[in-house]
C-alpha cells in the first residue's frame, strides 16, 4: 500500500467513526426538537413518527403563551408557571454566579500573589464541590425551614454561591497567574493602592477570562437540579424543576410540552457553551489544564 492510499484509508476510517458518534450525539437532540413540534397523537406512536406530518406550534404556545385555546386536550395548568421559573432561574444563576466569580477572583488574587491559601488548602477547597450534595440537602432543608429561607431565591443563591466557589477560585487563579507581575509593580510605583491595582489593572487584563469563568459557572448553576428540587416548593422553582411539572395526573407525561420547554432551557446554554468552548477544558479541570 502506498502512503497516499494509507492516508485515504485513514481518512475513511476517521470520518466513519466520527460520523457514527455525531449521529449518536445528534439523534436525541433532533428527537427533542422534533417532539416539540408534534401534536399529541404523534408523541407515542408506533412505528415512531420521526417528523410529524402536521407540525404544530401548540406545544410552544401552551408552554410559553400559557394559551389554553391552543391545546387540543386540556391539561391542568395551575401548577405550571414557566415564566416564574424562567425569572427565578435567571435571577438565581446570575446573582449567585456574579457573587461567586467576584469573590472567587479576590481570593484567587490573594492565592496567586500572596499565597493566602497554601496549595493543600486550595485542594481542600475542592471539597465544597466534590462531596455529593445529596448528603447535605436534607439537613440543609431543615435548617432553611427553621430560618425561613426554604423556597426562597436567597437560599438557593447562597448554596449555589458556596458550591461553585471552588471553580471560581481555581479558574480565575489560572488566569491571574498568567498576568505579568511587572504590570502591577509599574502601577504601584505610580502610587496605586492594592484595590486600584486589582480592579483597574489585573481584572481588566483578564476580563475575557473572568467572562469565561462567569459563563462557565452560569452553565453549571442554570442546569443544577437536585438542590433546587429539594429547596424549592412553589415560589423559588427553577426551570429544571419546572420541567418535572409537565406531568398530567391522568394523561401521563406530556411529552410535547416538556420538549418545548426543554428546547427553551437548553438552547441558551448550548450557545453560551460553544462561545466559551476554548475555556471549557480549563473550567472543568479547575484550571489545571490551561492550554
Partner 1 sequence: MARSEIMLQRTKRYKKMVLFPLIASILLILGPALILQLYLSFNYYSIYSEGWWASEWYALDIFSDVVSDSRFHIAIVRSLGFALASTIGCFVIGFGLALLMYKNFRLQWFYYIIFIIPMLTVPIVIAYTAEMILYQKGPLNGILSSIVGRDMLIMWITNPDIALLTVVLMEVWNWAPFSFIIMMAGLASLPKEPVEAAQILGASRFKIFYEIQLPLLRPIIVLALVLRFLEAMAEFPKTWAIFQGGPGTATETIPVLIYLNTWYYFDWSKAAAMSYIVMMMMVVIILAAIKILQKENKRITQAQAN
47 cis-preceded (ω within 30 degrees of 0): yes
Shortest spacing between CB 69 and partner 1, in angstroms: 26
Nearer residue to partner 1 within complex by CB, 206 or 219: 219
DSSP 110-144: HHHHH-SS-HHHHHHHTHHHHS-THHHHHHHHHHH
Distance separating alpha carbons of residues 102 and 168, to the nearest angstrom: 8
Q: How many Å apart are CA 42 and CA 172, to the nearest integer?
A: 48
- How do beta strands 252-253 and 247-248 pair? antiparallel
In contact, 44 and 255? CB cutoff 8 Å: yes
Closest by CA to 43, choosing from 246, 264, 265, 270, is 246
**Residue among 91 and 117 whose Cβ is closer to partner 1:** 117
Q: How far is the CB of 64 from partner 1 (least distance, A)?
A: 16
Closest approach of Cβ 262 to partner 1, in Å?
A: 4
Q: Which is nearer to partner 1, 35 or 88 (CB)?
A: 35
Between CA 39 and CA 58 the distance in angstroms is 8
Cβ closest to partner 1, residue 29 vs residue 76 = 29
How far apart (Å, rounded) are the C-alpha atoms in residues 70 and 96? 37
Classify residue 128 by burial, with Cβ atoms within 10 Å: 0-12, 13-18, 19+: middle
Helical residues (DSSP H) of 37-81, grouped into ranges: 58-60
- Cβ pair 163, 133 in contact under 8 A: yes
3-state DSSP call for residue 252? strand
- Cβ proximity to partner 1: between 14 and 68 the closer is 14
CB of 16 to partner 1, least distance (A): 10
Give the nearer residue to partner 1 in terms of CB position, either 34 or 205. Answer: 34
Nearer to partner 1, 17 or 68 (CB): 17
Amino acid at each position: 500500500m502506498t502512503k497516499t492510499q494509507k492516508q485515504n484509508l485513514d481518512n475513511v476510517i476517521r470520518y466513519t467513526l466520527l460520523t457514527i458518534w455525531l449521529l449518536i450525539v445528534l439523534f436525541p437532540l433532533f428527537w427533542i426538537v422534533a417532539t416539540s413540534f408534534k401534536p399529541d397523537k404523534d408523541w407515542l406512536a408506533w412505528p415512531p413518527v420521526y417528523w410529524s406530518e402536521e407540525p404544530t406550534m401548540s406545544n410552544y404556545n401552551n408552554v410559553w403563551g400559557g394559551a389554553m385555546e391552543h391545546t387540543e386536550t386540556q391539561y391542568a395548568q395551575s401548577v405550571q408557571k414557566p415564566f416564574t421559573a424562567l425569572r427565578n432561574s435567571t435571577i438565581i444563576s446570575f446573582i449567585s454566579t456574579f457573587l461567586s466569580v467576584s469573590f472567587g477572583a479576590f481570593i484567587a488574587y490573594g492565592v496567586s500573589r500572596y499565597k493566602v491559601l497554601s496549595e493543600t488548602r486550595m485542594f481542600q477547597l475542592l471539597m465544597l464541590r466534590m462531596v455529593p450534595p445529596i448528603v447535605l440537602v436534607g439537613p440543609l432543608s431543615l435548617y432553611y425551614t427553621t430560618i425561613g429561607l426554604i423556597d426562597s431565591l436567597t437560599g438557593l443563591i447562597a448554596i449555589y454561591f458556596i458550591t461553585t466557589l471552588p471553580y471560581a477560585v481555581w479558574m480565575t487563579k489560572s488566569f491571574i497567574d498568567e498576568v505579568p507581575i511587572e504590570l502591577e509593580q509599574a502601577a504601584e510605583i505610580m502610587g496605586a493602592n492594592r484595590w486600584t491595582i486589582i480592579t483597574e489593572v489585573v481584572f481588566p487584563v483578564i476580563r475575557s477570562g473572568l467572562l469565561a469563568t462567569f459563563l462557565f459557572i452560569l452553565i453549571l448553576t442554570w442546569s443544577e437540579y437536585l438542590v433546587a428540587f429539594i429547596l424549592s416548593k412553589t415560589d423559588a422553582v427553577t426551570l429544571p424543576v419546572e420541567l418535572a411539572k409537565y406531568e398530567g395526573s391522568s394523561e401521563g407525561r406530556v411529552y410535547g410540552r416538556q420538549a418545548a420547554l426543554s428546547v427553551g432551557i437548553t438552547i441558551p446554554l448550548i450557545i453560551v457553551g460553544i462561545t466559551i468552548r476554548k475555556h471549557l477544558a480549563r473550567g472543568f479541570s479547575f484550571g489545571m489544564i490551561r492550554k
